[in-house]
Every structure is written in structure tokens, then in C-alpha cells.
Structure 1
Amino acid sequence: MVPRLAALLLLLPSVALGAVTISVSESADSDGYVNIAECQGSTDNLTAAWSGVTSTSTNLSLYVSDTSGCIDTGSSSTTVRGTAIDASASASGPSTNPVTTASNAASLAGLGGCNTYQPIYFCLFDGAPSSTTLVAQGSIQLDGLRPAAPDIQSVTPGNAALTVYWTAGTGSDGGTTGAAKSYEAHAVNASNTSEDHSQTVTSGTSVRIGGLQNDVTYNVYVYALSAGGNYSAASAAVQGSPIPVDDFWTSYKNAGGRDSGGCSSGAAGAVALLLSPLLLLARKRRRS
């Protein structure tokens, strides 16, 4: 039994495969996405780091590819799909740090540029790359597409505020029509463009922009943002002017309401809607 076990051990690869992990980080931020600006520039550096390699092999190499596993498997042969970016890696890590810029990694991986939505794979091999010597792989998402511009449906005036409603534009981001992870709405004073009020929206397609001047015309527009932070083109601008009236929102807040507004407000929002007509009636009686 002992001789047979020894023979089996000799057949095992020189690297402990199961415990090796690779993480890929970028110098620009830590959101896990390489956006268009980061890909097209030269300041965002990608670094691959691994742990758990117990091999004493001196043949570790790091490849970058557009294919999981960095291997093309044909009917009669197996070939590497990608480019070696560190042919002298060690068990403790790559021989160069950072490994490469994001733009260079996208090019060497064979992605054909920055305008795509696809992972960049980093593969660690022990010895000559083949389907049997892959030690581990990591990846980072290239987000090289812009969402479509949103379509503003309406702008409703309130007291020193405007409420904006929009729908997602028609286009593609990552293959999903009209995809956008967040929005940014602006109200810009039509006669003084330095007065720009903005709100970021991470859920829903409406927002109330406060802090405005009554009876002043504002140009309202909305941007969509992808997961990696790519801005869409601006929506077509729609004008609106706040007016000095007690709208439902102002009446509710004056009565002590603490809800932040929106359709997802739950019971508090529903109570506000039910109480609004009563509040307005009470206010009229006090005035008469």
C-alpha cells in the first residue's frame, strides 16, 4: 500500500490547486469595474495578487485573456488564448507591480479596445500553459458601454422645488436594453447656469429637487450611469418653475411629517396622501 501511495504522490502536480486564489485590484478605485475613462487613460493600474501557492516551481506565469481559463480547447489541440504579462511570477506574487495598465490589459486580452462589456481574466499557470496546468484565475469587469439617455416624462412644480419623472432610454449597456444602475438629475437656473442643483437616484425613476427659487425658470435634465460610472448623454432638457404654493409635500412636512417621499415610502407615505386633503382644508379654514 505504501509504495502505491508514493507512486500516486509523484503524479500530483507541483502546485496545491485547491487553495490558490487570485484577486485583481485597480489603482483608480475599488468598485470592481474598469469604466471607459479608466480604460482609455493610462493612470488606472491593475494588479493581480494570489495566495495559497505552495509550489517551489520557478515556471509560474501570469496570462491575461478574454476567455475564462485563458484556454482555447480545439478538437485536436489545446492552445492559450491571451498574452503572458508576467512570465517570471513566483509563489509570493508577480515579479512586477502593478502588473499592467487597464488599457494595456484590455488590448493584450484581445478585447479589441475599451468599448465592450466583458470580464478581463487573469490566469496563473505552472509550467507551460495548458488545460492541465492552470493554477487559478481572477477577473475584473470591463464596463466600456454607456447607458442610453433617459427620457423625461414630466416636471411638476412645488414650493421651491421641482419633481422630475423619467423613463430609462432605449439602448444597451451590457446587453440589457435601457440598463442603468443609477441616475443623476439636475435643475439649472436658465439665466444663471452657475446655480446647478443635483440629486443622485439609486432606486426608482423620479426625484424631488429642492432648494430652488420660486418663479425662476430652471432647465431640468437627467443622466443615466452604468455600474462602473459611465455617464450617458444628457436627456433632452425640460423647463420648470417652482411656485409659492403649499403642495401636498409642503403641507405634510409643515404638519410634522418625517417621511422622505416616493412610492416606496410604505405606510407613512400612504398616510401622508390620506391626510393631505384634510390638512389643506384645515389650512383654508384657518385663513377664512
Structure 2
Amino acid sequence: MNTVKLNNGVEIPQLGFGVWQVPGAGTEAAVSTALEVGYRSIDTASAYGNEAGVGRAIAASGLPRDQVFVTTKLWIADLGRAAARDALRASLDRLGLDHVDLYLIHWPAPATDAYLDAWQTLEELQAEGLTRAIGVSNFLPEHLDRVIALGGTVPAVNQIELHPALQNRATVAANAERGIATEAWSPLAQGAVLTEPAVLAAAEAHGVTAAQVVLRWHLQKGTVVIPKSVTPSRIAANFDVFGFTLTDAEIAAIDALDRDGRTGPHPATFNG
């Protein structure tokens, strides 16, 4: 498994497993399958309502704690100094862990500046060992700059909606300029890009699935990526993306699919 070294030296597996929209009752089984397949990074959030299932699967796996990279997120309702601290402790209780590897502010919710207060608490939580790295999710360049202007820790990760139909190039460039790793959520655009001729042509050329092509595109771009599925065969297939390499021409053809293909809320206007 390739890893990406974050700006504080912590390494995150480049390919992880996401559990957004995985029902709480099915989370333990899905994560258990992912860990059996070989995934070693699990991405959840308090807002998903499935942290407990993630924790049970990790405990049942028998894997040493330091072999599973766990990410969770701070929800909008908990932005603020004291609330953020309580929220992480509640997440740790649900996960059954004494720390996470990455803690993210889930959305900037720019109607207020509460994410700035929350960031200062995240710095304290990292210093206390409750999370190994801290970062953000769905932040635009202007939100990143306001956090960095506080003069403390630069976010290690910015997790954003990113796929061939929404390549978020300005934010990806801003992340790179600031030493922030880009992580893609909804990397397959909820399936919307899997019938694109450029994707299907590459899949046929390499004898792989369309989803494998798109995930390989992400990996070759250097992006951290967290596909989600509850189907065991797809969980396994999404992990089997290291046996082929897309050509420059295939990458360029997929790059050309960029458009306003957003599947989720816009960070500039979403306030929960």
C-alpha cells in the first residue's frame, strides 16, 4: 500500500475505505470485509452515525492499533472551543479508541467563524495525543487561509469532493501550495462517471472495471482516496487497483471530463 506523508510526518494510506451513507447496522460487516481485504485506513464521522460499528469491526479484526489509520470528523453543531473537545471524546467513546489518527473539521459552515475557534481546540487535542494529525474537510482556499492566518498548525489534510466530473482544481492547487494533502470523498461521483466513454475505453484496454480506472486515476494524481461500498465483491475490487497503470493519454482523457458535476453541498453556502 502506498502512503502519503502528511506535513507533520504522519503517514496515511493513499487508498482507504469510507463509510459515508453506510447504515449503522451494516457498518461493522462492511468495515470487517474491508480490513480482511487489506484496507488499513477507515474514514468515518460523527455525523454518519456509524462510529460504533467502525470501532467494533476494528476490535474484532485483531489488528494492532497502529496498523489501522482511523479518521473521524467534527460536525458543524460542535464547532467551538469546548464543544469540539467534548465531540472528539464522544467519538472516541463510540469508536472504543484512545485516539484517532486524523481528526477533521467536517465543514467550514462560513455563516459564522466558529471553525476558527474549533481549530484552536483541535491543536490542543493533537498536543494531548487524542489525535495524531488534524485537518479540515470541504474547505475552500479562503477558509484555509483564515485557519493558517491564526499562526499555528497548518492543516494536514483537506478532504473535498473530488472526481473526474468535479476536479476542484483551484482547491487542489491551494492545498499543494500550502503543504496540505488532498483527500477525495465521493471519488466515483456516486457512479455518475462510470459510463463515460473515456473511462470505459481505459477499462477495456486494461481489463478492469470502470470504478478501478477512476480510482487508479486518483492514485496517479497523488490524491488520497476513500471509496465506499457495502458489497463485498466491490470492496475487494476497489482495493485491486495496483496491477495496472493508466497511460498519459488515458489520464488526459479523464482530465477532460471536468465540469460542474458536484454531488454534494457547496462549501461556500452549506451551514448545516
Q: In proportion to residue count, which structure has more helix? A: 2
TM-score between the two structures when normalised by the length of structure 1: 0.23
Structure having the higher Rg: 1
* Higher relative contact order structure (alpha carbons within 8 Å, sequence separation ≥ 6): 2
* Structure richer in strand, relative to its length: 1
> TM-score, with normalisation over the residues of structure 2?
0.24
